[in-house]
Amino acid sequence: MDKLFSDSETYTKVRPIKITAEQEQQFYKGLAEEIIDNKWSESDVEDIAEDISKLSLHDNGYEIAKSLEGSRNKAYYEIDVEFCEFLDCISWKKGNILENNVKDWVKAHNPQPKFLHRQRLIVEKDLNREKKIGTIVFVTGLAEERACYLIDENPEREGGTIIAYELVESNCKPIVLP
């Protein structure tokens, strides 16, 4: 049976932050097969997979399609609106693989939050672009299946910015009121 995580990851309990090389290879091969099945290309699966693996997935489907028209590619593509829509979803599909890895990691390790719902925290190190040093935030919820806190400046909010337990716990400190 193939292991999702190596023994080193299992023992260190480190959250996966990227998909494995094998998952990435299978992902691009699967996309290439879909492209052929939908008749957007008659080229070789490996050539299509290589072309797609070199793309910037942060672009929209139209921009990705334009980059596939170039002569630098190994494969030839029949570009139409449906193909652009397909390309538009590549980044989302790849993100789902990582999200599933995180969910499997959570099931394997059962990380527990150290901060409680509605707990008041002060940001001591930048959490992200929105939560700067000195900002007072509240734990407004938990996304336990992803081992994440929902935090917000408004204690009454039912939601907020989703940030990993370990990031919040290493960058925030509880505020104890006198």
pLDDT tens digits, one per residue of 57-88: 888 999 999 999 877 889 999 999 999 999 99
Total domains, the chain: 2
Residue for token digits 């797609």? 52
pTM greater than 0.85: no
Structural domain contains residue 115 = no
pLDDT tens digits, one per residue of 19-60: 999 999 999 999 999 999 999 999 999 999 999 999 888 889
* Predicted pLDDT at 69: 87
Distance CA 172, CA 137 (A): 9
The token duo for 135 is: 């900002």
Distance CA 79, CA 39 (A): 10
The reply to whether 81 and 44 lie within a common domain is: yes
Distance CA 120, CA 176 (A): 8
Which domain range does residue 104 map to? 7-109
Structural domain contains residue 12 = yes
Give the end of a domain, one of 109, 136, 165: 109
The reply to whether 61 and 92 lie within a common domain is: yes
The reply to whether 52 and 75 lie within a common domain is: yes
Half-sphere exposure of 145 (CA within 13 A, CB side): 3
pLDDT tens digits, one per residue of 134-150: 999 999 999 999 999 99
Phi and psi, residue 174, nearest 5°: -65, 145
